[in-house]
Amino acid sequence: MDQHSDRKFIIGGIILLITLIILVRLFFLQVIDTSSKLSAENNSKRIDFEYPARGLIYDRNHKLLVYNQPAYDLMITPSDLKPFDTTELCDILKISRERMKEGIKNSYKKLRDPFIKQLSPETYAVLQERLFKFPGFYVKARTLRKYEREIASHLLGYVGEVDEAIIQADPNYSLGDYIGISGLEKSYEKVLRGEKGQKVYLVDVHSKVMGPFQGGRFDKDATVGRDIVCTIDADLQEYGEKLMKNYKGSVVALEPSTGEILAFISSPFYNPSLLIGRQRTQNYLLLQKDTLQPIFNRPLMANYPPGSTFKTINGLIGLQEKVISTQSEFYCDLGYYSGRVRVGCHNHHSPLDFREGIQNSCNAYFCNVFRRIIEDPKYGNVTEAFNNWRRHVVSFNLGSRLNSDFTNELPGFIPQSSYYDKYYGKNGWKALTIISLAIGQGEILVTPMQMANMTSIIANRGYYYIPHSVKEIQGQNNIDERFKEKKYTTIDTANFRPVIEGMYLAVNGGAGSTAYWARLPKIAICGKTGTAENPHGEDHSIFIAFAPKDDPKIALAVYVENAGFGSSYAAPIASLLIEKYLTDTITRPWMEQRLLETNLLYKN
């Protein structure tokens, strides 16, 4: 009897335990874990996103550059599909029957994915008239970028579809969304994109729409993106691209008083319209394979030696450190010689004072200046003097990113003393070891944007504003505060005057001056030529300039790859751009014609 009683209690206990487990599990599923509820709810609704139009982009004079055009995604509701004329629809869409079958098959797996993305307005017009013949198909509208003028592709950038990495990083995006990939479109994505809207529908088990979900309480209207006024002058940009179309290189023009970018040219360039629509991926691959690298952003990413344009910096440092004065004279016998060191120079009169050294771009003069800087007895040793030299150089924002509103700028390179310690050993090098830095060669590397900013600093007599590409944002009082902060170099304002006078003489000092061909009779241009050594082929032609001499309105740097002396191509291009910007006329058509008729694209 007792044995049966014990068994009864054991069995009862087991039943009670099982009942308790079931109740706990039910409580967890129904109260704590809502995934099954959400899954059921998600299966009963469909979310259709409404894509906002991106903000428009204008130039500094409010001329339209980028706007939107309608595009249409063809969607499928599998539950509504009925037999239709496959051949007719394939003809309208210009696709194969195999592509049609594969698309319909995929629609059952991914209801929100378009069957075909970005139908052209022409295709949509034909389809819309016959859409009643194809039950289960419907069209969702969106917009694509359109360009009023096919210019400034590297500055404006382009838009592309998000990938999984972007979606995981930012919950604002989902499959099918578009995002700025480069240029302004990327830097100002949050401003331009607007906010997506959505319509949430109640659907049955066959995905057929039954009406708004919960009376439309989760619906949201799309918010259009904000417009942007960028800093470039569209006419100057277009003219600059015209001049550069047969050359590899770049042009960056700035307004010295603000740091606003007036022109931003990377050549070869590409038609921005190639990177919109259904052919975008195919066109991008073709551009990527092009040996001329049209999608490479030279103003921000190309690293060049500054060449003789850097003599202006060494001259300023020499004056600041008082190792020379404007009256200091040095002889030049077709170059600089010291022991085994020889740095050649072109023929000009000798000796030269400071202004004449810049005017004639004398290598011997600035080798002497550099040697005095590095061997300055007020510093304990060469390393200390070099570090002081470098302190001045980097105050021009060379060797580091400018912190502009572009996301892909490179820092260039200004070597540290440790760099030479590594190669020559500590105390194993001296001024003559690194004498090539005197003339902007050796290890120094800069980007064209940095060179334009350096020129702007000289024009401003010692200060600059960070270069930037946006002037106004709709609904926003000001641009980023960092673009309004005046930044100073380590050089006293007074020391810029003789450098500017030397640059003025380089252009206006007579037929023997290095930049004589850049002169304009009614505009006081100050400039400096440069020739950057190129180990892979012919040297690069460089010219920096600003104008007018007093109260300058434009400062620019021009690089023409494999074009030889700075006076040959870079200086005339800069001069024509200055004239175009300041007067809106060209008084030297013969110079323009020579540049347009020469083609150096395939020269190296």
Helices (H), 447-540: 448-459, 496-508
The enclosing H or E element of 374 equals helix 363-374
- Kindly state the percentage of the chain with pLDDT values over 90: 63
Tell which residue, 341, 328, 443, 329, has the closest CA to residue 393.
Answer: 443
367 or 32: whose pLDDT is higher? Answer: 367
Q: Is the pLDDT of residue 107 over 90?
A: no
Average pLDDT rounded to a whole number, residues 570-599: 96
Q: Is the pLDDT of residue 314 over 60?
A: yes
- Residue 604's pLDDT is 67
The partner residues of 554 in beta bridges, in order of sequence, read: 547
Helix (H, G, I), strand (E, B) or coil at 285: helix
Q: Is the pLDDT of residue 245 over 90?
A: yes
Helices (H), 375-525: 382-394, 417-424, 448-459, 496-508
- Residue 26's pLDDT is 66
Q: Is the pLDDT of residue 463 over 90?
A: yes
User: Which tokens go with 533?
Assistant: 């050594």
Average pLDDT rounded to a whole number, residues 369-377: 97
Q: How far apart are CA 556 and CA 456, in angstroms?
A: 8
Q: Which of 107-111, 153-157, 238-242, 334-338 has the lowest mean pLDDT?
A: 107-111
Q: For 116-149, write each residue's pLDDT tens digit.
A: 888 878 888 899 899 999 998 888 888 889 999 9
Average pLDDT rounded to a whole number, residues 74-84: 86
Q: How far apart are CA 43 and CA 206, in angstroms?
A: 10
- Are 565 and 543 within 8 A, CB to CB? no
Average pLDDT rounded to a whole number, residues 282-294: 92
Q: For 1-25, write each residue's pLDDT tens digit.
A: 455 566 666 776 777 777 777 777 6
User: Which tokens go with 42?
Assistant: 């998600």
Give the model's confidence band at 28: pLDDT under 50 very low, under 70 low, under 90 confident, else very high: low
- Residue 468's pLDDT is 97
- Residue 38's pLDDT is 39
Q: Which residue has 């190309």 as its token pair?
A: 302
- Are 414 and 313 within 8 A, CB to CB? no
Average pLDDT rounded to a whole number, residues 488-503: 98
322 or 45: whose pLDDT is higher? Answer: 322
Verdict on whether the full-model pTM lies above 0.85:
yes
CA distances in angstroms from 326 to 6, 323, 353, 410, listed in the order given = 114, 11, 7, 35
- Kindly state the percentage of the chain with pLDDT values over 70: 93
- Residue 4's pLDDT is 55
Average pLDDT rounded to a whole number, residues 40-53: 69
Q: For 168-218, write each residue's pLDDT tens digit.
A: 888 888 877 889 999 999 999 999 998 888 788 787 766 666 777 777 778
Peptide bond into 548 cis (omega under 30): yes
Give the model's confidence band at 31: pLDDT under 50 very low, under 70 low, under 90 confident, else very high: low
Give the model's confidence band at 40: pLDDT under 50 very low, under 70 low, under 90 confident, else very high: very low
Fold of 234-597: Beta-lactamase (3.40.710)
Within 13 Å of residue 150, how many CA atoms lie on the same side as its CB? 9
Q: Is the pLDDT of residue 481 over 70?
A: yes
- Residue 342's pLDDT is 93
User: Which tokens go with 158?
Assistant: 């382009």
Q: Is the pLDDT of residue 464 over 80?
A: yes
Tell which residue, 509, 225, 241, 482, has the closest CA to residue 359.
Answer: 509
Most confident of 21-35, 219-233, 492-506: 492-506
Average pLDDT rounded to a whole number, residues 331-358: 92
- Residue 39's pLDDT is 43
- Residue 364's pLDDT is 95
Cα angle for residues 255, 259, 265 (degrees, 5° grid): 70
Give the model's confidence band at 34: pLDDT under 50 very low, under 70 low, under 90 confident, else very high: very low
Q: Is the pLDDT of residue 35 over 50?
A: no
